[in-house]
Amino acid sequence: MGSYRSVENAFPLQHTGGVYDHQRAVSNTKRVLLLTRSAFAGQQRYGTNTWSGDVGSNWSTLKKQIPAALNFSLTGLPYWNGDIGGFFAGDFVKGGGAKNPDFQELYNRWMQFATFTPMMRSHGTDIPREIYQFGKKGDQVFDIQEKFINLRYRLLPYTYATAWAVTHHAGSIMRPLYSQFPNDPAGFENSSEYMFGSSFLVAPVTAKGVTDQEIYLPAASKWFDFWTGEVFKGGQTVKRETPMEIIPLYVKAGSIVPWGPKVQYATEKEME
């Protein structure tokens, strides 16, 4: 393809390809899944899920994760994830770690966003991230995390169906609004909202202390507030209250959303 300097970052394509091909040569009865730090065009065929690297624990970085994920997906690489709460915890380490209310707010908002990404993954240094590190059942910070962990598990059938469409129809999991609604110019410059699969419109809270935010609902559909069932006409901006336990989340009218049981792990119960 050319010199190293003219074809930058091609190494992960060769690296992941080597792992994939050799694992498949040993056994074709197991799927290959590789968590990678870097990516190159075409790498999706090797079962890779790329994360955004060792990012900092701050609100500015959380906000930037959304356009980063969408731009990454637009290159044809559908599997992306980020470290919930950021990798480098910075000043939060000396400020009480997982018991620091400021870190708890950032972490919970980041987890809400991660619930609607291809991989939901908590990872970082300096501060332990297990749910029990933040408190106990009945504490707001614990209950919010439990709520979204359970939601992620209940969405397994939907996420799996979306992944099937990725493989069989060259789709994507995270989609900018203009990707799904190309005739709606109001979504062309929107980098704070996205579609998770074809049914969910997600608008993460990415600033400290936010109690409400404005959400644009594309004109091509009516929309249901996931939490209340309230119906909204598309083509308008609505204001949504955002208490700590809520991420603005809307379901496109006419969607069929496969829904699973409450489980502790993926294969605990049969999916109905």
Is 4 a residue whose pLDDT tops 80?
no
Rounded mean pLDDT, 121-147: 96
DSSP label of 50 = E
pLDDT at 271: 65
**Domain positions in the chain:** 11-154, 171-252
Residue 139's nearest CA partner among 85, 99, 95 is: 99
pLDDT beyond 90 at 90:
no
The mean pLDDT of the chain is 95
CA distances to 105, 131, 135 from 143, rounded to whole Å, are 13, 9, 9
Question: Residue 255's pLDDT band (boundaries 50, 70, 90)?
Answer: very high
pTM, two decimal places: 0.95
Model confidence at 78: pLDDT above 70:
yes
pLDDT band of residue 209 (cuts 50, 70, 90) is very high
- The CATH architecture that domain 11-154 belongs to is Alpha-Beta Barrel (3.20)
Whether the domain at 11-154 and the domain at 171-252 fall into the same CATH topology: no
If you count them, how many residues does the chain have? 272
Say if residues 155 and 260 touch (Cβ distance below 8 Å): yes
Instruction: Give whole-number Cα distances, 170 to 44, 77, 130, 178, in Å.
Output: 11, 10, 35, 17
Q: Is residue 81 scored above 70 in pLDDT?
A: yes
At residue 214, does pLDDT exceed 60?
A: yes
- Superfamily name and number for 171-252: Golgi alpha-mannosidase II (2.60.40.1180)
pLDDT digits (tens, 9 = 90+) for 9-48: 889 999 999 999 999 999 989 889 999 999 999 999 999 9
**Tell me, what's the pLDDT at 7?**
84
- C-beta neighbour count of 107 within 10 angstroms: 27
DSSP string covering 141-177: HHHHHHHHHHHHHHTHHHHHHHHHHHHHH---SEE-H
3-7, 92-96, 240-244, 266-270: least confidently modelled range: 3-7
Q: What is the pLDDT of residue 205?
A: 98
Mean pLDDT throughout 208-213? Answer: 96
Angle at 242 between CA 237 and CA 248, to 5 degrees: 55
Q: Tell me the per-residue pLDDT of 151-184, one tens digit each, with 9 for 90 and over.
A: 999 999 999 999 999 999 988 999 999 999 999 9
Query: Residue 116 has what DSSP assignment?
Result: T
Q: Across residues 88-95, what is the average pLDDT?
A: 90
Structure-block tokens of residue 246: 């809520």
Integer distance in angstroms from the first to the last C-alpha of the chain? 48
Question: Quick one: what percent of the chain has pLDDT higher than 70?
Answer: 99
CB atoms closer than 10 angstroms to residue 215:
23
pLDDT digits (tens, 9 = 90+) for 102-117: 999 999 999 999 999 9
The sign of the torsion formed by the CA atoms of 39, 44, 48, 52 equals: positive
